[in-house]
A and B are shown apart, each in its own frame.
Chain A
Amino acid sequence: MRRPGLVLRTLLGLTLLAVVHAAYALTPQEALAIAGGDTDSRIAALRQAVQHPDPQLATFLHKLLNDEVQIDGGMVQVQQGNDWINLATGQAVTPSANAEGVVNNNYVRKQLESARAALDLFSPSRAARLKAVRQMQDDPASVDRGLVEQALKIERDPEIRKRLQLLHAAVLLTSPDAAERLAAAKELAASNYPAVRTLLLSRLDHSDGQHTEIDPTVRAQIEKSLAAIDERLAWSERLGTLFSGISLGSILLLAALGLAVTYGLMGVINMAQGEFIMLGAYATYVMQGLFQRYLPAEVHYSLLAAVPFSFLVAGGVGMLVERTIIRRLYGRPLETLLATWGISLVLIQAVRSLFGPQNVQVDNPPWMSGGLHVMANLILPYNRMVIIAFTALVLLAMGLLIARTRLGLFVRAVTQNRAMASCVGVRTARVDMLAFGLGTGIAGLAGCALTQIGNVSPEMGTGYIVDCFMVVVLGGVGQLTGTVAAALGLGVVNTLLEGVAGAVLAKIAVLIAIILFIQKRPQGMFALKGRSVET
């Protein structure tokens, strides 16, 4: 059982005035007791210290949570920049060999965070107060009633007030007064926090034969509020699933788009498509390395520079492969299949020899870490949102290229009727090379994006090749619309099935479904119509 409010129960209104006056200062003995010893004694010392809080305590808690405190022979030292400061004297010191960093286990960490939040609740900064109240909403069971009521008295900001009121209701749920509990249960129906749900559930617990909540009317109200919360949480869950499905679909689409050109438009069964994805990912890694070496201050933007770079690298290698090997094999699908498979092995081994067999690490830039809080139980990660947007951009650019540009016109002409196109003066060999370069270049872009969510290893491409073909074949060969529909459809279906059947079974089910579908409709979802089908 957790011990709720161990720290904060003692933080009563009286002590809060002290925040303003800062009459006491944190003594070195107190600091030592909070930082060292066993868990229980540390928590007890923390409880003591927050009874007369002062700004120094807040700073100290902050340092503790950042692992910037160490104990050196009974002396507490805190880190400031690169120096260690003796907390008692305020002088810089040179730590001895016996200095040991303070280790906070998760329980202590949680108590420290609660204490810090309690102090921050009266901070002049709005952001600090908001963060504090959010933190407390994550764990309402350990929040002290007096503290919330004090804060409510002086808080003016409407958003923080609203949160405080919900928090207050959550605290009142354990009040000895049944009327207060009833009102609290009613008010909590408006909460979106999963933590509140946990709290309500715990009040309904009667596993030991006795109801935690003794009053039946309050129990009924709690059940009603729970149902309301569940319904809203269920909605955000559905939204979350949809988002995951679209996100997975966008990854499939990005990976398959290149193949939609090489296989869909040109008819080359390119088994090395996955390896071009891998090349794009390694190009991103190289770009990151270059930035670290020459532009360390801008390293977070190496990803942006890597986008064109990965396109050029993968596209360039693709054109080289087309010129030297694939052009000799047009119209011989079996030989192409074997040759491109050979190319894939060569590329894997080349990268393995150059970069080593281990995975390489491409960092998430800060602007792609974390996520957008939509609701308490729905956070949309930035990296996935960026990839969805990126996919849309690539799709748009490619659509325009094929539909509006001269090169696109040539590509369409050559795919539809090679002989005729050649007769009217289109240099088909050059168009083939450029189209193949475009297809592999897009695979390179996919690789660049995939560094942000998956592993980068020489074998990474083999994992995508099956998915790519699945998408293109299902969507209908030679059809961009089909590829888009198939990718998004597969993403959403796979995500839904995963929720029901688990990742392994979902994958199997999707594969079987595709086999059945192709049996029934070999041309895919969207069939190419017209004379070109026969050629």
Chain B
Amino acid sequence: MKRRDFLKVSAVGAVAAASSLSFPAIAARKAPIKVGILHSLSGTMAISETALKDVDLMTIAEINAAGGVDGHMIEPVVVDPASNWPLFAEKARQLIAQDKVAAIFGCWTSVSRKSVLPVLDELNGLLFYPVQFEGQEENKHVVYTGAAPNQQAIPATEYLMSQDGGGAKRFFLLGTDYVYPRTTNAILRGFLHAKGVKDSDIAEVYTPFGFSNYQNIVASIKKFASAGPTCVISTINGDSNVPFYKEMANQGIKATDIPVVGFSVAEQELAGMDTKPLVGYLTAWNYYESLKNPTNTKFVSAWKAWVKAKGLKDYPVTDDPMEASYIGIHLWKQAVEKAKSTKVDEVRKALVGQKFAAPDGYTVEVLPNQYLSKPVYIGQVRADGQFDVVWKSKGLVRGEAWSPYIPKPKNA
């Protein structure tokens, strides 16, 4: 309780200070709009989610400094659901019912999102969800600003099957044991079947959260690869990635022999790793820090300045979920300005068709299913931990809620 209050007070204080400096007149005239920030600041997910909280605060400060939403300042309410899935629902309830926030920006794991959904349904909330996920969901209370499978997993697999990607014929699907990897791999299996790949050429292996002994798995990858050109599609989440990649390097597997594509490894995860043995390994995202365009240059330098000002030495880089958070807040702002209201139903109506010039170099758009159209990039790890783009989609890819490769559930 104390911690939350402290954060709330300090966040409000920071914004109030910022706004009173730049736009005292406006701040005094119009009532502020409250928004909720629902990211784990402690526990296992803190590693990934704390950076999102900070980029949310940065974006809000940026909008406020530019005059706010139609002259209203945005007032962030930061809560800490502590990587505890039921607590996500409780905190969401508190944000909507008690703090009366106009929208919530938050969640990382699919399980946290699923736990918030009933609360959103009941209290008519609006959640902006900024992380790539397994799709198979279309809730009118959620705006999905991260990638759907057809914006990440499918193009990456297609790339691995192409000549440039190594012409893979066999597929080793390796993931952490929970809903996102299992669903993604089910979709990939359907996709590979459609491409004529037989089940004998697909291996599916799962490890528990926090697993670190990858000796056997790497040995079985080698064995699997001795029957034809192989790629590894990794949906390993969290810090297990470090021992996995270390073991691959130690057992002498080069990216040119067996390419690995990771769907949950971005700049933040590589920031603490020795990346030299990983050169050539692949990831698929909708954004990389190394993209060269003016919007991104602005975004990255704003982040570096924010990090410096706030002393956040642990988060030096930007990555895809951070960009998706940034886009989400801007889209919400535009929708509120268009609707001239913060009421969820009206904002939602105004959201569809909203466009925003994003740091990914394109103008992304909210689709009727509340997914985004985004570009897809495939990046290759560089020795300095950044990514070189080796493939990009021709223009924007529209997010599909329901994958055509697995059956749509009846109750959806």
Contact = CB atoms under 8 A, between A and B. Distances in A.
Given A198-B228, A382-B250, A103 B257 contact: no
A247 B215 CA distance: 9
A157 interface: no
A106 interface: yes
- The winner among A105, A198, A463 for most chain B CB atoms within 10 A is A105
A225 interface: no
A327 B283 CA distance: 53
A463 B213 CA distance: 12
Nearest to A368: B250
A503 B207 contact: yes
A297 interface: no
B54 to A, nearest CB: 13
Interface string B246-257: 110111100111
A527 to B, nearest CB: 30
Contact of B216 (A101, A202, A233, A499): A499
Nearest to A248: B213
B251 A379 contact: yes
A215 interface: no
A455 B277 CA distance: 17
Contacts, number: 143
A379 B251 CA distance: 6
Nearest to B208: A504
Interface stretch (A173-181, A356-364, A435-443): A356-364
Contact of A194 (B165, B225, B279, B280): B225
Nearest to A111: B256
A381 B254 CA distance: 15
A377 B255 CA distance: 16
Contacts of B167: 1-2
Interface string A372-391: 01000101011110000000
A507 B211 CA distance: 11
Given A198-B227, A454-B243, A105 B164 contact: yes
A194 B226 contact: yes
Interface in B211-259: 211-213, 215-217, 219-220, 222-223, 225-229, 239, 242-243, 246-247, 249-252, 255-257, 259
B272 interface: yes
Contacts of A504: 177, 206-208
Given A198-B226, A233-B226, A358 B390 contact: no
A302 to B, nearest CB: 14
A187 interface: no
Nearest to B43: A357
B388 interface: yes
A244 B47 CA distance: 30
A273 B251 CA distance: 31
B274 A363 contact: yes
A359 B239 contact: yes
B3 to A, nearest CB: 13
A370 B250 contact: yes
Given A2-B163, A103-B389, A105-B165, A381 B250 contact: yes
A231 interface: no
A507 B177 CA distance: 13
Contact of A110 (B44, B243, B247, B256): B256
B393 interface: no
A453 B206 contact: no
A455 B166 contact: no
A457 interface: yes
B90 interface: no
Interface in B349-390: 380, 382-383, 388-390
Contacts of B341: none
Nearest to B256: A110
Given A105-B164, A106-B380, A110-B256, A377 B280 contact: no
B212 A454 contact: yes
A109 B259 CA distance: 12
B206 A103 contact: no
A109 B389 contact: no
Nearest to B42: A357
Interface in B15-47: 42, 44, 46-47
Interface string A221-265: 000000000000100010011001001100100000000000000
A298 to B, nearest CB: 18
B349 to A, nearest CB: 40
A257 B227 CA distance: 42
Nearest to B223: A237
B210 A463 contact: yes
A503 B217 contact: yes
A201 to B, nearest CB: 6
A101 to B, nearest CB: 7
A52 interface: no
A406 interface: no
B121 interface: no
A118 to B, nearest CB: 16
A330 interface: no
B205 interface: yes
B179 interface: no
Interface in A331-360: 356-360
A112 to B, nearest CB: 9
Nearest to B216: A498
Given A67-B382, A105-B390, A377 B165 contact: no
A2 B388 CA distance: 23
B97 interface: no
Interface of B: 42, 44, 46-47, 50, 163-167, 177, 205-208, 210-213, 215-217, 219-220, 222-223, 225-229, 239, 242-243, 246-247, 249-252, 255-257, 259, 272-274, 277, 279-280, 282, 314, 380, 382-383, 388-391
Given A194-B225, A201-B228, A455-B242, 15 more contacts: A2-B229, A106-B280, A109-B256, A198-B227, A198-B228, A201-B227, A237-B219, A244-B216, A248-B215, A356-B314, A357-B42, A373-B252, A381-B251, A495-B216, A499-B216
Closest 6 CB pairs of A and B: A194-B226, A381-B250, A454-B212, A244-B215, A361-B272, A103-B388
26 contacts: A2-B167, A3-B163, A105-B380, A105-B391, A106-B165, A106-B256, A106-B380, A194-B222, A194-B225, A197-B227, A198-B227, A241-B219, A358-B46, A359-B242, A360-B272, A371-B252, A377-B223, A379-B251, A382-B250, A384-B250, A453-B212, A453-B246, A455-B243, A457-B239, A503-B205, A507-B208
